[in-house]
Amino acid sequence: MRPDDEYMAILTRLELLRRRREEFLTQYTAGSSLVRGINDQIVEAEKLKKKLEEANPSLLTLSLAAQPTPAPTLAPDLASVMPAASASFDPVAEAARIIALQSRVKILNSQLDRIRAETSHFDEKGAVINELQRKKDVQEASYKFYANSLEQARVEEALGAGKVLNINKIQQPSPPYRDWLVFLRIVITIIIGGVVAGVAMAFLVDLYLDRSVRRPVDIERKLRLPLLLSIRDIGWFGRRRVAKAATKLMSGVDAEADGGSPAEGGGLVPKLLSDPLLPFYEALKDRLDQRLESKGVVRKPKFIGLTAVNDGAGVTTLTTGLAVSLSETEDRNVLLIDLDRELGSARQFYKGMITQHGLDEALDPKYKASVQNGNVTAHIFRSQCVNIMKVLKNSDYDYVIFDMPPVTPTSMTLRVAAFMDEMLLVIESEKTNQDVVKEAISLLEESKISLCAVLNKIRSYVPSTLHQEFWGAS
């Protein structure tokens, strides 16, 4: 560094130290350690300044130029004349000051460049240091891994097969076996899925797919028809007993054929006492009497018709049982006319027994020759329907019961139904379609007759302890 630059740096440093001392004196005492430290630095700077001045006397001009020039003192007489006059201007001093300031700027710029160079150098070295630190961490981790692996290998070599002293017997593998738990879960899932699907299918069929009449509530809600009686299904053995009793009764076999004597003083014949539907016959008779009395039908004879919409609904069985029950009560005289077959028949019941055939006296004489044992063809009855009904209205029968064919647009049921005091439509549960029943009801209502329903062969699919249903008789 040149002497003049070094000399200017010392002057600048002295100026800064003096100003800092003045600032400290405003806050601390002269004996403070901070103030004493500043004084020591000023003394050191003065020594360096004096040393440079002795070595280079020309530097004294820079010292004079760097010192501030005091303002000249005016005479008292001139002060009153020029109170606002400015101080005198010294060109040499100002030029020296400018040179000092330029030298100071150069020194500061050189220091700034040196600091920037060192900073860039430190940045480059910092990146190198970071890379070296990363490599160090990786190598240290690798070293620890290999050290652990080496130690483990030494332990395994020292404690190899046959060298372990704390194990007396090597454990034998267990025999293989099939895991039945997975198979059991699949089976349980299939069973539960099948049960849920079955229940869902049952509800779907019962509510949407099956259009048959199943329960007594369907008669009143869906068909809008009064229900007179509901009869449970008696099963295959029960139907055999009913058929056997009806066959013996209609064939005219009396009680003596069974080793007994005819019933006296009324009462059902012994052949019908074994009929499991006997309670339902009695209930049907009682409700029919109540319905006729509530309508004010007191004349004799009363005409009762039973029909269905399909074969096998149980119309013939119910008409026979109803005729026997009505004739047994109060010694009534009941005539049963069977028109359900091509070869019809007429039977008279009194005191629960068949007494005689009772239709031939109502026929035209030219047709009587064709009547044998009460059998009359449906063709003859259709041709003589009006005459027969007129004769029967004037007869001494209490009830005339008609077993009619299924309701169709071409059957004679629609013609005979117009003469009935009460018409019973027998509906077989789970087999009679609702739409077919509605069509039959519309056909019968054209005759403006009193119509009610009897639901037959109702089945229950739950235990009796969980299900209670009104059967009409018990």
pLDDT in tens, 170-180: 667 778 777 78
Q: Among all chains, which residue has been given the structure tokens 């440079």? A: 52
Residue type for position 103: S
Q: How many CA atoms lie within 13 A of 389 on its CB side?
A: 17
Could you tell me the pLDDT band of residue 276, with boundaries at 50, 70 and 90?
confident
| pLDDT higher than 50, residue 283 | yes
Cis peptide before 76 (omega within 30 of 0): no
Distance CA 43, CA 40 (A): 5
Q: What is the pLDDT of residue 352?
A: 63
| pLDDT higher than 70, residue 89 | no
pLDDT in tens, 320-339: 888 888 888 777 888 888 88
Contact 322, 338 (CB under 8 A): no
303 phi, psi to nearest 5 deg: -100, 125
Question: Strand ranges (DSSP E) for 112-240?
Answer: 227-232
- Say which DSSP state 377 is in: E
By the 10 Å C-beta count (0-12 exposed, 13-18 middle, 19+ buried), 189 is classed as: exposed
Domains of the chain as residue ranges with CATH: 3-68+92-119 (no CATH), 212-458 (3.40.50.300)
Mean pLDDT of 261-278: 52
129 phi, psi to nearest 5 deg: -60, -45
pLDDT in tens, 9-59: 888 888 888 888 888 888 888 888 888 888 888 888 888 888 888 887 777
Handedness of CA 427, 430, 431, 435 (dihedral sign): positive
DSSP 380-447: HHHHTHHHHHHHHHTSS-SEEEEEPPPP-TTSTHHHHGGG-SEEEEEEETTTSBHHHHHHHHHHHHTT
Cα torsion 322, 323, 325, 329 to 10°: value is: 130
| pLDDT higher than 50, residue 117 | yes
Mean pLDDT of 236-263: 56
pLDDT in tens, 219-231: 888 888 899 998 8
Q: Mapping DSSP to helix (H, G, I), strand (E, B) and coil, where does residue 227 land?
A: strand
Q: What is the pLDDT of residue 281?
A: 87
Q: What is the pLDDT of residue 3?
A: 72
Q: What average pLDDT does the structure give for the chain?
A: 76
Mean pLDDT of 113-136: 86
3-state helix, strand, coil split of the chain in percent (to 5) is 55, 10, 30
Mean pLDDT of 404-426: 89
